[in-house]
Structure 1
Amino acid sequence: MKVASTLSSTGSAAVFMHPVEALHGDLGFVSEHDCALLFSYSGESIEVIRLAGELRRIGCAVVVITSRRTSTLGRMAAVCIETGEVREACYLGLAPSSSTTVMLAIGDALALAMAEAQGFGEADFGLNHPAGSLGQRFRYVQDFMRAGDKTVCVEPTAQLKRVIQLVSDAKTGSAILVDADGALAGIFTDGDLRRALLQGSDVLEGAVEQFASIPCHFVLYDTSIADALKLFQNTQTEDLPVLDPETRRVLGTLCLKDITAF
């Protein structure tokens, strides 16, 4: 199962098949265009030998990892990868331990060699690992940012009351301040609103730039989500303007809660 997972994650689709279950229906997975990788240290496991015969009948290529090329299974294989004799770590010298570790290492080596031969790259790896810490390295801000009518961009002189209305209508938590050329000037967040209201209700008639964070932190749209999360943590913010890396114009907003939901 581990080798099958490594193969799939590195660009070679694979599925684990138990030899007994294969003989009771799971052979329906197999076609003549497939290649089977069989594991048996002794090369004499009855159920694996029986499976090898059925795979050959279908026309599926059989590759075997075993201790001896001269074993029954070794002789049946189109390709036999011979481990040689391996002394088990078990104190009785019986329980499969060292031998299974050797076969696992060979299986991983095959998977990685195939990935390299097929030109499997980081971008491909990212497509197969969209979640978790690995996925965050290969997902980018542009995949999660809010744009269009989901982000609010206003001039620094816009009335605070009007900005609050726009933010509320967009169901977001911030407004991006931009100049006449669309370049970033600052950001106005829910936190800025709370601090503004503490100064009195008449602040609603003032310009938003009086209460916004100017200048402010930002993130480029081609930044990885992993790096964006580090920026959120280091700056203690929940919303970041997203900029085009070339023009530095505002493209949208990245919200921490959107990444958390993912």
Structure 2
Amino acid sequence: MKSKKSIIQSAVSTLELEAAAILNVAKNLNDDFEKVVSTILECNGRVVVTGIGKSAIIAQKIVATFNSTGTPAIFMHAADAIHGDLGMIQRNDVVICLSKSGNTPEIKVLTPLLKASGNKLIGMVGALNSFLADQADMVLNTSVDKEACPHNLAPTTSTTAQLAMGDALAICLLECRDFNESDFAKYHPGGSLGKKLYLKARDLALSNEKPSIHPKASVKEALIEISKNRLGAVAVIDAENRVIGVITDGDIRRMLENYSNIEHLKAEDIMGKNPKSIQFDALAVDALALIRENSITQLLVLEQNTYFGIIHLHDLLNEGIV
């Protein structure tokens, strides 16, 4: 059993080897990389990404990244391709084939078939003197000096290089397409990531009650409104539905500390003036930023100058925005 120190040293060595490999991949970028990006941008079909073994797993991740950043892509396993799955490739598709050696039997069988179909073939390969590198129209060099595996056998550094190359392609394509946050939100509607990109303040406010009182309302009315709606606050509004203040649980506590007789008090006497607010069409994530910045738990939502509702910190927690 290794000591704790030697375990850490082993991990550091692995990470340093893989980091160096990525830097080496960056140094090896050439005109073919630009040609690959241009070819994919001009493609009227999809990007078909294929490979065998561990390279096939990396290919699937590249496909997922392409699809989520605006480049239509599908995965085709190299072994299945020669047993019928070649039928998924359409005339206008571009094919990226991943292979460390570029000489595996499946790749040698698949490559001539792809060439015969007339599709552009991009080889992401770790050996420039290989069959795949020789046959490909463009080559992305992902060669590495050695695997992180101490026996130089298990694909580790080589698959990291492939993964990084795939990310580099995806980001270049994203930037060339001016793919922005709104586009990203279309492809990521689920989970907290999507919600940060599309969920608006109004969506949260509409799910809550809309507690409000007029400035001349009694303290008792304010207490009832706060308790009834369970948002910890009530907006104080004028006759035109404009917010002139807010009463929170904290205001109630301060009132009890400062006054022995509260019967004569009105909402306007204890309300907080100039309450923090946000426009109803602002993003929920911006509402969270305001709540954090001001160390508050409620935020008033406005539609132009009129009262729209209230967002509570718990609403953001429940949506997974925090």
- Whether the TM-score (by the shorter chain) exceeds 0.5 is yes
Cα distance between partner residues in 2 of 1:94 and 1:148: 56
Equivalent in the alignment of 1:250: 307
Equivalent in the alignment of 2:247: 188
Matched ranges for 1:107-256 at <5 A: 107-129=166-188, 131-132=191-192, 138-139=197-198, 141-142=200-201, 144-147=203-206, 150-167=209-226, 170=229, 172-193=231-252, 196=255, 203=262, 206-244=265-303, 247-256=304-313
User: Out of 141, 148, 155, which is 1:83 matched to?
Assistant: 141
**1:59-93: CA deviation from partner (whole Å, max 9, x where unpaired):** 8764321245663334554x432417542255666
Identity, in percent, stands at 29
What letter corresponds to residue 243 of structure 1 in structure 2?
A: L
Cα distance between partner residues in 1 of 2:113 and 2:209: 58
Which piece of structure 1 moves more, 177-186 or 156-165?
156-165
Q: Give structure 2 stretches of 5+ with no counterpart.
A: 1-59
Q: Which structure carries more helix by proportion?
A: 2
Cα 1:191–1:93 shift into 2, 3 Å: same
Q: Give structure 1 stretches of 5+ with no counterpart.
A: none
Cα 1:15–1:140 shift into 2, 3 Å: same
Cα distance between partner residues in 2 of 1:188 and 1:60: 68
Cα 1:51–1:183 shift into 2, 3 Å: farther
Indicate if the aligned counterparts of 1:69 and 1:80 stay in contact, CA closer than 8 A: no
Query: SS at the partner of 1:188?
Result: strand
Which piece of structure 1 moves more, 58-67 or 100-109?
58-67
**1:126-146: CA deviation from partner (whole Å, max 9, x where unpaired):** 4444544x5575345435431
What letter corresponds to residue 83 of structure 1 in structure 2?
A: N
Equivalent in the alignment of 2:38: none
Cα 1:189–1:42 shift into 2, 3 Å: same
Query: SS at the partner of 1:150?
Result: coil
Indicate if the aligned counterparts of 1:151 and 1:252 stay in contact, CA closer than 8 A: yes
Indicate if the aligned counterparts of 1:42 and 1:66 stay in contact, CA closer than 8 A: yes
1:250 Cα offset (Å): 2.5
Query: SS at the partner of 1:241?
Result: strand
Equivalent in the alignment of 1:65: 124
Indicate if the aligned counterparts of 1:55 and 1:62 stay in contact, CA closer than 8 A: yes
Equivalent in the alignment of 1:40: 99
Equivalent in the alignment of 2:88: 30
Cα 1:92–1:145 shift into 2, 3 Å: closer
Indicate if the aligned counterparts of 1:69 and 1:82 stay in contact, CA closer than 8 A: no
Which piece of structure 1 moves more, 184-193 or 95-104?
95-104
Cα distance between partner residues in 2 of 1:201 and 1:35: 79
TM-score (ref. length: structure 1)? 0.73
Cα 1:24–1:239 shift into 2, 3 Å: farther
TM-score (ref. length: structure 2)? 0.62
Indicate if the aligned counterparts of 2:142 and 2:165 stay in contact, CA closer than 8 A: no
